[in-house]
Protein backbone atom coordinates (compact mmCIF):
# COMPACT_ATOMS: atom_id res chain seq x y z
CA UNK A 1 0.00 0.00 0.00
CA UNK A 2 2.86 2.40 0.77
CA UNK A 3 4.22 1.88 -2.73
CA UNK A 4 0.94 3.07 -4.23
CA UNK A 5 1.00 6.30 -2.22
CA UNK A 6 4.65 6.98 -3.01
CA UNK A 7 3.92 6.51 -6.70
CA UNK A 8 0.89 8.79 -6.47
CA UNK A 9 3.05 11.41 -4.72
CA UNK A 10 5.63 11.08 -7.50
CA UNK A 11 2.92 11.59 -10.12
CA UNK A 12 1.56 14.62 -8.23
CA UNK A 13 4.99 16.25 -8.16
CA UNK A 14 5.21 16.37 -11.95
CA UNK A 15 2.47 19.00 -12.56
CA UNK A 16 3.46 20.76 -9.33
CA UNK A 17 7.03 21.12 -10.54
CA UNK A 18 5.85 22.35 -13.94
CA UNK A 19 3.58 25.00 -12.39
CA UNK A 20 6.31 26.13 -9.99
CA UNK A 21 8.76 26.31 -12.90
CA UNK A 22 6.39 28.50 -14.89
CA UNK A 23 5.71 30.76 -11.90
CA UNK A 24 9.46 31.12 -11.35
CA UNK A 25 9.97 31.91 -15.02
CA UNK A 26 7.52 34.80 -14.82
CA UNK A 27 8.30 36.13 -11.32
CA UNK A 28 11.99 35.23 -10.81
CA UNK A 29 11.19 34.60 -7.15
CA UNK A 30 13.94 32.80 -5.25
CA UNK A 31 11.35 31.22 -2.94
CA UNK A 32 9.51 29.69 -5.88
CA UNK A 33 12.77 28.44 -7.36
CA UNK A 34 13.73 26.76 -4.08
CA UNK A 35 10.26 25.26 -3.73
CA UNK A 36 10.52 23.75 -7.20
CA UNK A 37 13.97 22.37 -6.38
CA UNK A 38 12.60 20.76 -3.23
CA UNK A 39 9.67 19.28 -5.15
CA UNK A 40 12.00 17.75 -7.74
CA UNK A 41 14.30 16.38 -5.05
CA UNK A 42 11.41 14.89 -3.08
CA UNK A 43 10.06 13.28 -6.25
CA UNK A 44 13.36 11.53 -6.78
CA UNK A 45 13.46 10.48 -3.15
CA UNK A 46 9.91 9.11 -3.42
CA UNK A 47 10.80 7.13 -6.51
CA UNK A 48 13.96 5.61 -5.03
CA UNK A 49 12.26 3.15 -2.60
CA UNK A 50 9.92 2.04 -5.36
CA UNK A 51 12.86 1.32 -7.61
CA UNK A 52 14.67 -0.55 -4.82
CA UNK A 53 11.60 -2.69 -4.17
CA UNK A 54 11.37 -3.52 -7.88
CA UNK A 55 15.11 -4.26 -8.01
CA UNK A 56 14.73 -6.85 -5.26
CA UNK A 57 12.47 -8.79 -7.63
CA UNK A 58 14.50 -8.19 -10.78
CA UNK A 59 18.28 -7.70 -10.33
CA UNK A 60 18.57 -6.11 -13.79
CA UNK A 61 16.98 -2.94 -12.38
CA UNK A 62 19.90 -2.27 -10.01
CA UNK A 63 21.62 -0.16 -12.66
CA UNK A 64 18.58 2.14 -12.82
CA UNK A 65 18.50 2.29 -9.02
CA UNK A 66 22.17 3.28 -8.93
CA UNK A 67 21.65 5.97 -11.58
CA UNK A 68 18.62 7.38 -9.77
CA UNK A 69 20.52 7.42 -6.46
CA UNK A 70 23.43 9.28 -8.08
CA UNK A 71 21.01 11.80 -9.63
CA UNK A 72 19.24 12.40 -6.30
CA UNK A 73 22.52 12.84 -4.40
CA UNK A 74 23.98 15.03 -7.14
CA UNK A 75 20.88 17.21 -7.25
CA UNK A 76 20.93 17.57 -3.45
CA UNK A 77 24.59 18.66 -3.56
CA UNK A 78 23.81 21.11 -6.35
CA UNK A 79 20.91 22.61 -4.39
CA UNK A 80 22.93 22.99 -1.20
CA UNK A 81 25.83 24.63 -3.06
CA UNK A 82 23.41 26.95 -4.84
CA UNK A 83 21.73 27.95 -1.59
CA UNK A 84 25.09 28.58 0.10
CA UNK A 85 26.35 30.70 -2.78
CA UNK A 86 23.19 32.87 -2.71
CA UNK A 87 23.45 33.50 1.03
CA UNK A 88 24.46 37.07 1.85
CA UNK A 89 27.83 37.46 3.56
CA UNK A 90 27.91 38.39 7.23
CA UNK A 91 30.90 40.77 6.91
67 located within any domain: yes
Given pLDDT bands bounded at 50, 70 and 90, which one contains residue 89? low
Distance (Å, rounded) from C-alpha 36 to C-alpha 42? 10
91 located within any domain: no
pLDDT in tens, 19-52: 998 999 999 888 898 898 899 889 988 888 888 8
89 located within any domain: no
23 located within any domain: yes
Burial 54-66 (b: 16+ CB within 10 A, else e): ebeeeeebeeebe
Domain extent for 18: 1-84
pLDDT in tens, 63-76: 888 888 888 888 88
Structural domain count, the chain: 1
DSSP class of residue 87 equals S
Higher pLDDT, 44 or 83: 44
In this model, does residue 77 exceed pLDDT 80? Answer: yes
Distance (Å, rounded) from C-alpha 23 to C-alpha 19? 6
Amino acid sequence: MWAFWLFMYFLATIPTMLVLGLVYRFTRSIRVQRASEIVVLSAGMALLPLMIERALDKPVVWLAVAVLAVVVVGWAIFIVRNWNSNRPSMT
